[in-house]
Structure 1
Amino acid sequence: MDTHLCDELLEEIFRRLPPPSSAAVSLVSKRWRRLLHSSTTSLSLNFPPPYNPTTITSLSTFLSHHPYLSSISLSGGGDPLLLAVADSCPNLRQLRHPSDPVSPFALYTLSASCVHLSSISVSLSRPLSFHWLPSFGSLKSLSLSFTGTSTEADNLEIEENRDAFDLELDLESLSLRGILAGDSGLSCLWRNCKNVKKLQLKSCESVGDSASFSNFLKFLNGIQELELRTCRSIVDSVLLKLAADCISLQSLLVYDGGSKEGLLRFINQSKCSLKKLDLRLPLDLDNSHLIALSENPNFKNLKTLRLESCCLVSGEGLKAVARAIGDAVEELALINCDVVEREAGLLAALGQELGKLRRLDLSHNEMMADKDLVSMVVSCDGLEEVRLRGCGRLSDAAVVAMVRSCRNLGGVDVSCCGGIGGEGVEALVVEAAAALRRVAVEESKVTGLAKMVAPKKCIHFVSSSIGFSSNFL
């Protein structure tokens, strides 16, 4: 059979195989191993220390056998591994090397060898320098983590050179982690990234020195997506700037750090037509924010509302939002929000207002009862995705009722639900409509009948440790 299949057909077959099968394929024959390498476009490699010349040579040789590699993720190694990639992967489009810091020299070398790179994720040591950025002409997405301490001498050195280039970069997505107060050089970055539509700030106590902050505020005007994770010291100033001047913002995420007053002023004064709001603010979000959200006409087209661990929210605020914008909301997440368990009848009331709901995430509400879930899904019969991970009190009966009511279900996550067993998973698979494609659940709960029926209906079981992403359909 091997001799009857041409190289191109085998390569296409190998591309469609799940990753665990790759090791077995490479053992069949030298031809299959060669074709497997030539069909591989993505690799993830972990290199623990020590790093010696033999390791680097071996990596270069290994990579040279993958001529069409377009995406690679490296863990460890710093400059030596990055230089090996630059030497062996001319067709690279995406690079992730976020662990060990790399030098400007290595990045310059990478830019000269991998001219098609469009996405880079690396770590930089202080003092910060961005002179290498203009050399990546195809770059669209950049993710940087900053390490080390900042000294006055470092800042003076960068201060003298921060205006060395003034070239508007064509970045569309920018992610920065670990900015410290007084970090110089960032002004140059903000000034030359005016086209960025998606900005992520993680564990940042500042956006740089005073000049950087001034440029940053101007930079915000055209942002469409903003994520602030563990950035308590800058959240208020950023939100107030957005409320005053930004009308382009469509998606806002704030996790683990904010203030009640700053968030309330943003919601009351915002002029943007927000489509997605994602908040994890256990002690900084309450009903006043939700009621303000329901009263601002600029939020009438909100399609996604995600709340996680928001313990000060009550049914009053959620019902006000549902009444005001229920016709627009397509995705609702109430993750680990004890209001779901605390107020009986809340989910039923929300279900009656959210007629266009397509995605529902009620994960980690451990005490949520069957009747509460069923009362909601009966009203939201257009649901396409339901996540119930960690809802330990739910039983098989809830699963059966859900699958019978929601005939458009494409994905269900019932992992880590102690009350749901093999019978529930079996009923989910057997009684599901044709739309169902993925079920996240423990392998031990998949019965023999479920395993037999699933392939016939094109249903795939996903590891309970992985779950599935929101764009799995």
Structure 2
Amino acid sequence: MESLLCDEVLQEILQRLPPSSSSAVPLVCKRWSIVHRNCRYSLFLRFPSANPSSLPAFSSYLSRFPRVSSLTVVLVPPSDNSSPVVSFDVVPDYDDDEETNSSLLSDQILLSVASNCPNLRDFRYLAGPVSPTALLSLSSSCKHMSSLSLTSIRPFSFRWLTFFPALKDLSLVDCGSFDSSNDDESELELPLESLCLSEIRAGDCGLGWLWRRCTKLRRLQLRSCEGTGDGVSFSSFVRCLPGLQELELRTCRTIADGVLLRLAQHCDSLYSLLLYDGGSRDGLLRFISRCRSTLRRLDFRLPLDLDNDHLSAVAENVRELVSLRLQSCCLVTGEGLKTLGTTINAGLEELALINCDVIEKEPGLLTTLGQSLRELRKLDLSYNKMLPDKELVSMLVSCKNLVDVKLKGCRGLTGAALLSMLNNCKLLETIDIKHCCGIETDTVEFFLLNSPRIRQVHVEESKLSGVAKTWVSQKFIQIIG
């Protein structure tokens, strides 16, 4: 039978195998191994130690996968006990200058990638600093690179970006300063549409060069940033805002208010805002009061900065809201949530109240919200540890369109909540019940066997009976433990 299958048909069959079976394919025969490599488009490689002597093995391994288009390389210390997807285990041979040694090794790894992966489009290199020279070599070989993630660049520069004409998505963890005294004044436009920068310091120079050239930016993420660059860079920051659709500010307290103010002044297209651990009450209130009608998604983790005034402003100014996510918002009360729910009842599709003690403080809140938000499709009540069955059940009776429910860490729930979901949520496809110690194995089994549309379940493997394991295998239900 094997001889009757041409390579194209065999490749199509192998691509449809589940991961558990696919890993054994190379052991069948040499032909199957070659065909399997040719249909692998994604690789995740971990180095258990930083050692140049592993490079030949790394390069040889990459050469076996000529069609790989997505590659992630992570450098882990020798003491890391995690199981590597691919391991190049050698005895460490450390240099006295560890940082220099790491940088040289990173450059050699990039050169190896450049020579073996001409079809690479998505590259995540989380294994140390790289040089602009190595990035130029990568750009000359991987001409279709569209997504790139790096930890740091030494010496720091952004000018190498001009050699990646197809790059749409850039993520850089360790931002730094570079000499901008010779900054050219040509306004060459970069193709970047998504940009993620971490750890920008207030006085970092040269960022203005980037801001002025990111006029096509649609998504911006700033993480643990103290600024957007020095004075010159800050004045150029507004150049990237007019077309922005998504903004994420994570732990950027010192700059959050300033960024939101300029966003309200210069952006007419913002669709999604995520704000975690940053800003002030007044600054956020001013932004919501001035925001444009395009805003659809709000995601806040502001334990002591978000209150009912903000929810009232959202109800008044953001009439087309489709997603609201609140996490650890201690000052929000049931009154504010009810007012918001009544105002935007028709359009809200996603609601998340993660670790929000208002659920436990005000019995009946979920019942009222369920009656107002009957079109909800996604519900996340994770880490409300004392959430009782009756509160959740009373909400589920009204929310019959749910397809995704997350209840991770809700220790007060029992099997009764799961059975209610089975009776009321006929469209359910995804559920997370990890760390719900009140839900037993027999209830999980009954739920799986009687949920017609379930496709993904987050649950501990210890709660899966033999019958349940057989069933999920036959029905191709994904279990995430």
Name the structure 2 match of 1:12: 12
Name the structure 2 match of 1:358: 377
Name the structure 2 match of 1:2: 2
Name the structure 2 match of 1:288: 309
Q: Give the one of 390, 394, 397 matched to 1:378.
A: 397
Name the structure 2 match of 1:188: 209
Q: Give the one of 462, 466, 471 matched to 2:479.
A: 462
2:136 is the counterpart of 1:108: yes
Name the structure 1 match of 2:468: 450
C-alpha displacement of 1:429: 1.5
Q: 1:395 is matched by which residue type in structure 2?
A: T
**What TM-score, normalized to structure 2?**
0.91
Name the structure 2 match of 1:30: 30
Name the structure 2 match of 1:471: none
Q: Give the one of 70, 73, 84 matched to 2:112.
A: 84
Alpha-carbon distance change, 326 to 373 in structure 1, aligned in 2, over 3 angstroms: same
Task: Tell me if the contact between 1:128 and 1:184 (Cα under 8 Å) persists in the aligned partners.
Answer: no
Q: 2:389 is matched by which residue type in structure 1?
A: D
Task: Tell me if the contact between 1:145 and 1:176 (Cα under 8 Å) persists in the aligned partners.
Answer: yes
C-alpha displacement of 1:212: 1.0
Q: What aligned pairs does 1:37-436 form with structure 2 within 5 A after superposition?
A: 37-52=37-52, 54-76=53-75, 77-125=105-153, 128-146=156-174, 155=178, 158-163=179-184, 166-296=187-317, 299-432=318-451, 434-436=452-454
Q: 1:41 is matched by which residue type in structure 2?
A: Y
Q: Which moved more, 1:360-369 or 1:447-456?
A: 447-456
C-alpha displacement of 1:132: 0.8
Secondary structure at 1:166's aligned position in 2?
coil
Task: Tell me if the contact between 1:244 and 1:271 (Cα under 8 Å) persists in the aligned partners.
Answer: no
Identical counterparts, % of pairs: 51
Secondary structure at 1:139's aligned position in 2?
coil
Alpha-carbon distance change, 33 to 109 in structure 1, aligned in 2, over 3 angstroms: same
Separation (CA, whole Å) in 2 of partners of 1:89 and 1:452: 39
Name the structure 1 match of 2:81: none
**What TM-score, normalized to structure 1?**
0.92
For residues 254-304 of structure 1, give each alpha carbon's deviation from its aligned partner in whole angstroms, at most 9, with x where no partner exists.
1122211111111112124211000111111111111111122xx111000
C-alpha displacement of 1:453: 3.6
Secondary structure at 2:71's aligned position in 1?
strand
Q: Which consecutive residues of structure 1, in runs of 5 or more, have no partner in the other structure?
A: 465-473
Q: 2:479 is matched by which residue type in structure 1?
A: V
Q: Which consecutive residues of structure 2, in runs of 5 or more, have no partner in the other structure?
A: 76-104
For residues 135-191 of structure 1, give each alpha carbon's deviation from its aligned partner in whole angstroms, at most 9, with x where no partner exists.
10111111112257x5xxxx5xx1213326531011111111111111111111011
Name the structure 2 match of 1:469: none
Task: Tell me if the contact between 1:128 and 1:185 (Cα under 8 Å) persists in the aligned partners.
Answer: no
C-alpha displacement of 1:422: 1.2
C-alpha displacement of 1:249: 0.2
Separation (CA, whole Å) in 2 of partners of 1:450 and 1:130: 53
Separation (CA, whole Å) in 1 of partners of 2:148 and 2:371: 45
Q: 1:300 is matched by which residue type in structure 2?
A: R
